[in-house]
Amino acid sequence: MAKAKKVTKEELESIVEVNGKINAEINNLGLLEMRKTDHIQLLQQSRVELSELQKVLEKKYGKVSIDLKDGKIEEIKEDEAE
């Protein structure tokens, strides 16, 4: 049986090192995707929370615009609402 050819020790180390980097980045991308999913869910929850708060405030103040810097309320005219 013929002797199997092999890459050099240095070449093998280089291949293993680069392969390890690739695997690490694949793992990192998976973790980032999981974090992205978590953040999307948090964003959706915040949007629902804002919508509920808007309903409460609209019952109390009517159709108004609220300045987020100082809380000043300005009525929305019918033309602007459409």
66 located within any domain: yes
What pairs with residue 73 in β-bridges? 66
Q: Is residue 48, in this structure, part of any structural domain at all?
A: yes
Per the listing, tokens 């293993």 go with 16
In a domain, 64, yes or no: yes
CA distance 79 to 82: 6
Q: Is the Cβ–Cβ distance between 73 and 62 less than 8 Å? A: no
User: Residue 81 has what pLDDT?
Assistant: 53
Q: How many domains does the chain have?
A: 1
The secondary element (H helix, E strand) that includes residue 73 is strand 73-75
Range of the domain at 45: 9-81
Q: Which residue has 């109390």 as its token pair?
A: 60
Q: What is the pLDDT of residue 80?
A: 56
**Has this prediction a pTM greater than 0.75?**
no
Give pLDDT, residue 2: 79
pLDDT at 46: 98
Digits of tens for pLDDT over the chain (82 positions)?
778 899 999 999 999 999 999 999 999 999 999 999 999 999 999 999 999 999 999 999 999 999 999 999 999 887 655 5
